[in-house]
């Protein structure tokens, strides 16, 4: 099915073409080595910076591209087909830009966006903590203690993608004030070279190995008031679902890349003693057809999620993005697994990308909120609203 390119601006369509070029020319040829060594794809970010793409989601009035959520999803899918680790980490940076546009004070926006647009600075987002499930309880063990002129931050963050590479860390935490999580939730912007920060080199994952997702220990780090952003609006606005839009996009890209790779193999492989390529086998044809339907459905849901993120209704954002993240995650797991079976035993070789697609899909689909939480969001929209309507009838 065709992509909704007619909904994009001319500049956004140009950016999609550029993303295809970057993925094919630079990112895909390097992906296997980055996966094998677990080394962060610095070279890929060098290219992104050369193309002035760190400001992709920075509002146009601050000098950025101001790309729409739908266009962003289409752009990110192209990057992810070349290197999923590059796409996943870029999604962290891109969403911090959207949070700043919504939550930061004007003087903060001018300063932070200026760093990104003028110097191509990179922001990382650190929310996860050991022993804490923010998707279940919205609780943080890290704490920002109020002190004169700002706050003193102490805590440990894990799964810190981009740690050690990003220039600035957008750290989720709570103040020691009384009140609800919405009242106490803040983000601290910290330069990555602060001496109070210690990287704990623990990341050696099944997949997404090049994301540099080590842990970070923060010990009594002073953050001035000018670098503290009250972030309760992230919860009430639904803007945090932008992370999940990016995840759904990466899942879809992994499924699509797997299907495309195995399809090329089936078209071009003739088994000795047979006259026709494997693509003519009726059993294999049926399986490919089933997988194509799933991939196309996942793409359509991510398009809808991109459109929803541009609308003001937080409930709509939560519902449609939850649908996309849930379905795309399930599709990625099934398609990358079945593609290995369709390809045959050689598909498990590290010299081919199929096993990497499978490992990346299995790893990245664990990212919160998990699929059970997505289903809860969907059920709440479908059943709770109906219950309210019934009660009012």
Q: Give the model confidence (pLDDT) of 286-306 as tens digits.
A: 999 999 999 999 999 999 999
pLDDT single digits (tens) 166-192: 999 999 999 988 777 778 899 999 999
Q: What is the CATH number of the domain that holds 341?
A: 1.20.140.10
Please report the pLDDT score of residue 136 as a whole number.
59
Contacts of 27 (CB under 8 A, 6+ apart): 41, 44, 79, 82, 83, 86
How much is the pLDDT for 294? 99
Residue 21 lies in a domain: yes
Question: Is 194 among the domain residues?
Answer: yes
Report the pLDDT value the prediction gives residue 135, as an integer from 0 to 100: 59
Residues 141 and 189 in one domain: yes
- Token pair recorded at residue 208: 């997404």
Q: Around Cβ 1, how many Cβ atoms within 10 Å? A: 8
**Are 373 and 246 contained in the same domain?**
yes
Residue carrying structure tokens 């990287």? 199
> Does the residue 392 lie in any domain?
no
- Per-residue b or e along 42-63, where b marks 16 or more CB atoms closer than 10 Å to that residue's CB: eebbeebeeeebbbbbbbeebe
CATH code of the domain in which 200 resides: 2.40.110.10
Say if residue 318 is in the same domain as residue 369.
yes
pLDDT beneath 70, residues of the chain: 133-138, 385-393
Q: Give the model's pLDDT for residue 274.
A: 87
Do residues 340 and 274 both lie within one domain?
yes
**One domain, residues 244 and 226:** no
Q: Which helix (H) or strand (E) holds 219?
A: strand 214-224
DSSP 234-287: HHHH-TTHHHHHHHHHHHHHHHHHHHHHHHHHHHH---TT-SS-GGG-HHHHHH
User: Can you give the residue range of the structural domain that contains 73?
Assistant: 5-121
Q: Examine residue 269 and state whether it is found in any structural domain, yes or no.
A: yes
CB 299 within 8 A of CB 1: yes
254 and 330 part of one domain: yes
Number of domains the chain is built from: 3
Strand ranges (DSSP E) for 3-70?
Answer: none
38 and 87 co-located in one domain: yes
């Amino acid at each position: 099915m065709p992509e909704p390119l007619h909904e994009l601006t001319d500049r956004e369509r140009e950016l999609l073409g550029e993303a295809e070029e970057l993925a094919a020319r630079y990112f895909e040829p390097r992906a296997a080595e980055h996966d094998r060594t677990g080394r962060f794809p610095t070279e890929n970010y060098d290219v992104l910076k050369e193309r002035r793409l760190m400001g992709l989601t920075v509002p146009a009035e601050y000098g950025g591209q101001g790309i729409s959520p739908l266009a962003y999803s289409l752009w990110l899918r192209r990057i992810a087909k070349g290197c999923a680790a590059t796409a996943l980490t870029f999604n962290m940076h891109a969403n911090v830009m959207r949070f700043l546009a919504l939550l930061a004070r004007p003087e903060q926006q001018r300063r932070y966006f200026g760093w990104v647009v003028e110097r191509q600075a990179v922001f990382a987002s650190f929310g996860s903590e050991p022993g804490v499930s923010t998707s279940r309880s919205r609780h943080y063990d890290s704490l920002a203690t109020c002190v004169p002129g700002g706050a003193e931050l102490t805590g440990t963050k894990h799964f810190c993608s981009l740690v050690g590479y990003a220039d600035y860390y957008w750290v989720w935490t709570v103040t020691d004030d009384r009140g609800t999580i919405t009242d106490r939730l803040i983000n601290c912007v910290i330069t990555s070279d602060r001496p109070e920060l210690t990287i704990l080199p623990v990341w050696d994952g099944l997949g997404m190995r090049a994301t540099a997702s080590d842990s970070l220990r923060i010990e009594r780090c002073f953050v001035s008031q000018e670098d503290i952003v009250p972030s309760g609006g992230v919860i009430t606005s639904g803007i945090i679902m932008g992370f999940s839009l990016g995840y759904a996009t990466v899942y879809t890209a992994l499924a699509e890349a797997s299907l495309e790779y195995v399809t090329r193999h089936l078209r071009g492989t003739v088994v000795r003693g047979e006259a026709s390529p494997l693509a003519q086998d009726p059993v294999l044809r049926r399986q490919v057809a089933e997988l194509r339907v799933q991939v196309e459905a996942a793409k359509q849901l991510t398009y809808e999620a991109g459109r929803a993120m541009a609308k003001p209704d937080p409930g709509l954002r939560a519902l449609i993005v939850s649908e996309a993240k849930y379905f795309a995650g399930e599709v990625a797991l099934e398609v990358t697994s079945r593609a290995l079976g369709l390809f045959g035993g050689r598909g498990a070789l590290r010299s081919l990308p199929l096993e990497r697609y499978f490992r990346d899909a299995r790893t990245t689909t664990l990212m919160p909120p998990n699929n059970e939480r997505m289903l809860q969001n969907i059920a709440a929209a479908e059943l709770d609203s109906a219950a309210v309507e019934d009660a009012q009838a």
